[in-house]
Each structure stands twice: as C-alpha cells, then as structure tokens.
C-alpha cells in the first residue's frame, strides 16, 4: 500500500488474536514493503532454525496434519 503522504511511512499494526475484540498491541512505521520477507531464499534460514516440529509426530488433539483437517 502507498502511504498517504510521501514523508509518512505506512504503519504496521500488531494485533493480539487471543481476544475476541483484537486489541492493538503496537503500531509502528515500516520502511519498505513488509511482505518482502516472503522473498527470502529458504537456504538462508534453513540452517539457522531453532526448532522444527514434525506434523506426523504431533500428539496434540488439535494438530492439523493435512489440508483436509
């Protein structure tokens, strides 16, 4: 989205989905397009990941294991 004025960057509101009314937790200006993070090559973050959870090994009753779940 384009900012309303050239000197004002677009905001990036952070909402909490843990409540029904979605309270605003933080609102801050961003520089550039926030969706550019999707363009990062997987090789860059693959070796730096901290945790990986296998879907097959999950015993949680609400776990989603396939698109049909």
Averaged pLDDT, groups of 10, the chain, 69 residues long: 56 63 70 63 81 79 78
Do the domain assignments include residue 48?
no
- Into how many domains does the chain fold? 1
Does residue 68 belong to any structural domain of this protein? no
Phi, psi of 6 (to 5 degrees): -65, -25
Residue 37 backbone dihedrals phi, psi, to 5 degrees: -60, -25
The pLDDT, as a whole number, for residue 4 is 56
Burial letters 17-42, b for 16+ CB under 10 A, else e: eeeeeeeeeeeeeeeeeeeeeeeeee
- Predicted confidence at residue 60, as pLDDT, reads 85
In a domain, 39, yes or no: no
Residue 66 pLDDT: 76
The answer to the question of residue 49 being in a domain is: no
Containing structural domain, residue 13? 1-30
In a domain, residue 36? The reply is no
Query: Is residue 17 included in any domain, yes or no?
Result: yes
């Amino acid at each position: 989205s384009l900012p309303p004025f050239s000197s004002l960057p677009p905001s990036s509101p952070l909402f909490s989905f843990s409540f029904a009314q979605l309270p605003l937790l933080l609102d801050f200006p961003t520089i550039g397009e926030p969706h550019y993070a999707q363009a990062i090559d997987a090789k860059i973050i693959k070796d730096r990941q901290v945790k990986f959870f296998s879907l097959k090994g999950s015993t949680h009753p609400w776990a989603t294991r396939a698109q049909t779940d």
